[in-house]
Amino acid sequence: MNPSVPAPSPLSRIRPDVRAMHAYHVAPSDGLLKLDAMENPFSLPPALQRALGERLGALQLNRYPGGARQEALKAALAAHAGAPEGSALMLGNGSDELISLLALACAQPAADRRRAVVLAPVPGFVMYAMSAQLQGLDFVGVPLTPDFELDERAMLAAIAAHHPAITYLAYPNNPTATLWDEGAMQRIVDAVAAQGGIVAIDEAYQPFASRSWIERMRAEPARNAHVLLMRTLSKFGLAGVRLGYLIGPAALVGEIDKVRPPYNISVLNCEAALFALEHADVFADQAAELRGERELLIARLRAMPGVQRVWDSQANMVLVRVPDAARTFQGMKDRGVLVKNVSTMHALLAQCLRLTVGSAQDNAQMLAALEASL
């Protein structure tokens, strides 16, 4: 090696598109009331905390995960969700991993000039586009209407034009908290079937919604033979556990499961999830309380001078439009409350903030900070 010639930077080995992108940013929240990530504000009751601690402490951490306990977790999740007969269930390290694995399973080999397409309404969950890019698929975003409803005609036209391998439908949607019209959803699901594609219905916020697509999957299994339903325990109340799951026809789930890393779910995650499902009534009561607090929060927001618009919500978040989102966001942060400024994510979200629904005390503090910051 000639010392006078500088060696190439190892950064040159990183894909150019990766070097050009931004990492997923998690805002620092130390010392702040954290209402930016739709987390459940309630902790486990002390007695359950002690019982869970004893159970986790007895696990064999020297052994790889898997086997009977994960099969027990799959069965418990299937029963909890009411999975259709003949379906299979796949576990993921949060929904994020499932989204990445689905893209990986559908990506075309480099020798094939055809690039598979991921299609989704926008604005929506950023990981749909990010996972497509990282796995070598093209992403096509179809704008929602100004009221954040599905633009059915545009969606059907995009499906016909692009023949997407994967079409994401978040039900409810993030960050708009919209539960879209069931008829429009069904016509889009049918259009994807006619093209031989997969529909992934993302129900991350199902505990707070008035209906679920799993009812349609049970009622018409043949019509939904290309549908995968994704859920997570994050909004259930276990965001720190990182446990997502995917339900769908066994043959389809079996193919995606081939790209899942071995041991992707730790014994700690698995046991914590099993414990939570054994006490599902506790989490159901928490979700019910949050649904009630959501309606009170929406009413107070709509009565607040300076708030320009408040959208209906079927999730544990509320989208609002204010005159100056950046200034209001910073004002709330200066007053100790962290929310999400989504105003730069998409043109339809101009001057919008996303507020997580918290406890009554959390919501009161958030409302006071918002009112003072407008």
**Predicted confidence pLDDT, tens digits, the chain (374 residues):** 566 778 888 888 888 888 888 887 788 888 999 999 999 999 999 999 999 999 999 999 999 997 899 999 999 999 999 999 999 999 999 999 999 999 999 998 765 667 899 999 999 999 999 999 999 999 999 999 999 999 999 999 999 999 999 999 999 999 999 999 999 999 999 999 999 999 999 999 999 999 999 999 999 999 999 999 999 999 888 999 999 999 999 999 999 999 999 999 999 999 999 999 999 999 999 999 999 999 999 999 999 999 999 999 999 999 999 999 999 999 999 999 999 999 999 999 999 999 999 999 999 999 999 999 99
Please tell me the total number of residues recorded for the chain in this structure.
Answer: 374
Q: Which residues are registered as beta bridge partners of 317?
A: 356
What is the structure's pLDDT at 349? 98
> Which segments within 178-316 are labelled E, that is strand?
198-202, 227-232, 244-249, 309-310
Distance, in Å, from the CA atom of 223 to the CA atom of 292, rounded to the nearest integer, reads 35
Q: Assign residue 196 a region: left if phi > 0, alpha if psi is -120 to 50, beta otherwise?
A: left
What is the structure's pLDDT at 373? 98
What is the structure's pLDDT at 13? 86
Task: Please say whether the dihedral angle defined by the alpha carbons of residues 104, 189, 126 and 144, taken in this order, is positive or negative.
Answer: positive
What is the structure's pLDDT at 167? 98
Amino acid at 168: Y
- The domain limits of the chain are 10-46+281-373, 61-279
What is the structure's pLDDT at 7? 81
Task: Please say whether the dihedral angle defined by the alpha carbons of residues 329, 332, 336 and 337, taken in this order, is positive or negative.
Answer: negative
CB atoms within 10 A of CB 309: 13
pTM, full prediction:
0.93
CB atoms within 10 A of CB 344: 11
Q: Tokens for 238?
A: 């276990």
What is the structure's pLDDT at 1? 58
Pick one of 3.40.50.740, 3.60.120.10, 3.90.1150.10, 3.30.70.270 as the CATH number of 10-46+281-373: 3.90.1150.10
Distance, in Å, from the CA atom of 12 to the CA atom of 80, rounded to the nearest integer, reads 48
**61-279, which class in CATH?**
alpha beta
CB atoms within 10 A of CB 218: 15
